[in-house]
Structure 1
């Protein structure tokens, strides 16, 4: 696999030998989330207090955007990153300012599906964003993998997965996540980049208790924006427009 770096208009991009963008960083704001889908993968932060999550698993490093954001703005979080290609870590450190903090960031070089099978840990949040040079997720988009993710989540834990909505197997991906999590899943509608984010809850009795109210999520989004400059208000409006709220409450 080739690893290439490009820059345009103040943004640095990571590629795996193709035109697919595997990560991006605005050079002037290295800890900000640049791509829309990475911003939307922070939806779980609106569903819990500021001291959540404590334990995070990130499957796929890329340019390190999600890892860096959580490292910066969730200082109590311990971050475990699984990356199959060591050269991706080297690129993230050299070109994308991945912090050198072994106390809080633990890197494992392994296949994400194998790691999930072997791991004994449970996590508050699992973020899945792993693709090869042809934008294929392989075993990271399968029912066994999603079931393993569910088994490694805390009781109130959440899985957040990046899916490519433009691929012909997108609906199949959603069905597999729904099967693994007994339909406790919401899908953030795809935007121009072609990514769609699925958030699944491990809490089978009540996906998120109590069910989040739209106005409360708006307040949480405003608070997050003040603290981190990340604006998730447009995403909430997108969720509302696509029917994810019933009687003002978010439906998993």
Structure 2
């Protein structure tokens, strides 16, 4: 049975649902390039970890949803070539009709298909791979397995980062984090849980990341000035959670 695709609006925000009240994506209608949901903002925290003026040159987004991350990267990272993989064609149609999905062009390609299979079969490498794919029951399926995370790592460039959305309140959450840590040989970090219960985890490949707290704060201020994305609260939560040993983010 196919998954229902529903659209709702409240207080100037448009939401995507898969046949339930569970929010699969959101867009503030007057600010379509802003990231409305906290976890989507944190999924872009890689911009604090690499030189954001030149990075990413290429991005793979698995799971389109309300096209929030696609719009943001397309608008604010003009140097990036973007590949989106979405398994449900009706989600792509809804994103075009209701969520201002940019037209495909030399920088943006949309592939309708299985994200896990795409990663297993492609020979391309990406600076940034964003994974945010769930069904109506909040299950990630093959997108949360050891073979998938290992394949993602193999598809990252020498400055590559994976960012993945997990559910911190699910019974399998710790196992998900352990799979990522193992696949990336301990070069992984799970950020403190958002209020929604979402947890964003990162895995790194290539060049070592070591950013002092003061520099993280400065990069967050510069990113906010450039894009409107405010990751200052994220940096504070990392500090308060003890995720910055020696006052540094090391990955």
Task: Answer yes or no: same fold by TM over 0.5.
Answer: yes
In 2, Cα distance between equivalents of 1:156 and 1:51:
11
**Is 1:112 the equivalent of 2:111?**
no
CA contact (8 A) 2:104 2:110 kept: no
**1:169 and 2:172 aligned:** yes
Q: Identify which range, 158-167 or 95-104, moves more after superposition.
A: 95-104
* Aligned residue runs from structure 1 range 32-71, under 5 A: 32-49=34-51, 50-71=53-74
Aligned twin of 1:86: 89
**TM-score normalised by length of structure 2:** 0.97
Helix, strand or coil for the counterpart of 1:174?
A: helix
Please tell me whether residue 197 in structure 1 is matched to residue 200 in structure 2.
yes
Structure 2 CA distance for aligned equivalents of residues 232 and 35 of structure 1: 13
Matches within 5 A, 1:180-191: 180-191=183-194
User: Any gaps of 5 or more consecutive residues in structure 2?
Assistant: none
| Native 8 Å contact 1:244 1:251 kept in 2 | no
Distance 1:42 1:196 in 2: 13
**Deviations, residues 213-242 of structure 1 (Å, cap 9, x unaligned):** 111111110001001111000000001111
Runs of 4 or more consecutive aligned structure 1 residues displaced over 2 Å after TM superposition: none
Q: How far apart in 2 are the matches of 1:93 and 1:102?
A: 14
| Partner residue in 2 for 1:221 | 220
1:17 to 2:14 alignment: no
Distance 2:239 2:227 in 1: 23
Q: Which of 98, 102, 110 pairs up with 2:101?
A: 98
Aligned residues: 248
